[in-house]
Amino acid sequence: MSLLEVDRINSYYGDSHILFDVSLQVEEHEVVALLGRNGAGKSTTLKTLMGAIAPREGEVRLDGRPIQGLPPYEIARRGVQLVPEERRIFGTLNVEENLKLAALSAPKPLPLRDIYRTFPRLGERRKQRGKQLSGGEQQMLAVARAIVRDARIVLLDEPFEGLAPIIVHELVEVCRELARQGRTIIIVEQNVVAALRFAHRVYILNNGHVVYQGATEELQGSPEIMSQYLGV
């Protein structure tokens, strides 16, 4: 039994059918990348896993137990955390206050010293307000808020979007460190090269369908697939 099992889910926005029989498996301590062009259904998949969208068909199981249809707060309570593309940090609170607020409702929050060990930049900025941070620092804070809750699965939605290459490199190193710590991560990302630097396996979505799945090394050795579905 996998940590997370997604079995033939079909999700809609109103009458628009977005995901078609999407199936995924994610093992504990694994990093899985969901890749594909804009509009492929990647973010919709994350929102479905998080409960923001309820699939009309199919099942999502965490530890073998169905979670589809549960409200997002209940799925979060079970250990799934979404880091949205918009980040949604509290700009008027400082770094430490953002982290403490996220930890309040966590069953077993991590000590802040552990967070600052993984995110030393946040340790340096811990008394600065969220709106005073750079874009990369805000993204680190958004990820750290999920980690402080000791999330079993972290869903990252376009974490490198709009960031300078040097900041992307720094964030990739943070994600690689989280992977070394054994964090289970599902990442949606347009920056294919960056995502493949720390992902173990890959699913490619195209028009709401899973069209490819395999190990990172296998995809990197298949330039025709990279070109056909990812434009790389």
- Examine the domain organization and report whether 144 and 191 are in the same domain: no
Q: With pLDDT > 90 as the criterion, what percentage of the chain qualifies?
A: 79
Q: What are phi and psi of 184, to 5 degrees?
A: -90, 125
Rounded CA gap, 72 and 216, in Å?
30
| The length of the chain, given as a count of residues | 232
Side chain identity, residue 118: T
Of 95, 125, 150, which one is at a domain's C-terminal end? 150
Radius of gyration of the chain from its Cα atoms, rounded to whole angstroms: 17
pLDDT band at 111 (very low <50, low <70, confident <90, very high): very high
Please compute the mean of the pLDDT values over residues 78-94 and round it to a whole number: 90
Mean of all residue pLDDT scores within the chain? 93
Of 122, 150, 178, which one is at a domain's C-terminal end? 150
Buried b / exposed e over 212-227, threshold 16 CB at 10 Å, is beeebeebbeeeebbe
Tokens of 14: 């109103």
The residue among 108 and 30 whose pLDDT is bigger is: 30
- Examine the domain organization and report whether 156 and 139 are in the same domain: no
* 115 secondary structure, DSSP code: H
- Examine the domain organization and report whether 36 and 13 are in the same domain: yes
Please state the pTM of the whole predicted model.
Answer: 0.93
Tokens of 164: 């300078």
Pairing of strands 153-157, 184-188: parallel
- Examine the domain organization and report whether 54 and 160 are in the same domain: yes
H-helix segments, 70-229: 72-77, 95-103, 112-118, 120-124, 135-148, 165-180, 192-196, 216-220, 223-225
pLDDT of residue 44 exceeding 60, the answer is yes
- Examine the domain organization and report whether 123 and 158 are in the same domain: no
- Examine the domain organization and report whether 7 and 96 are in the same domain: no
Return the beta strands (E) in the chain as ranges: 4-13, 16-26, 31-35, 57-62, 65-66, 80-83, 153-157, 184-188, 201-206, 209-215
Q: Domain tally for the chain?
A: 2
The pLDDT value given to residue 202: 97
Rounded CA gap, 84 and 156, in Å?
7
CATH number of the structural domain spanning residue 23: 3.40.50.300
According to DSSP, the residues that pair with 82 across neighbouring strands are: 155
- Examine the domain organization and report whether 232 and 156 are in the same domain: yes
Domain that holds residue 139: 83-150
- Examine the domain organization and report whether 66 and 179 are in the same domain: yes
Side chain identity, residue 6: V
- Examine the domain organization and report whether 144 and 225 are in the same domain: no
Of 134, 150, 166, which one is at a domain's C-terminal end? 150
- Examine the domain organization and report whether 170 and 200 are in the same domain: yes
- Examine the domain organization and report whether 204 and 98 are in the same domain: no
Rounded CA gap, 112 and 144, in Å?
10
pLDDT of residue 90 exceeding 80, the answer is yes
Q: With pLDDT > 70 as the criterion, what percentage of the chain qualifies?
A: 100
- Examine the domain organization and report whether 59 and 165 are in the same domain: yes
Please compute the mean of the pLDDT values over residues 139-168 and round it to a whole number: 91
Note whether 7 and 55 are within 8 A (CB).
no
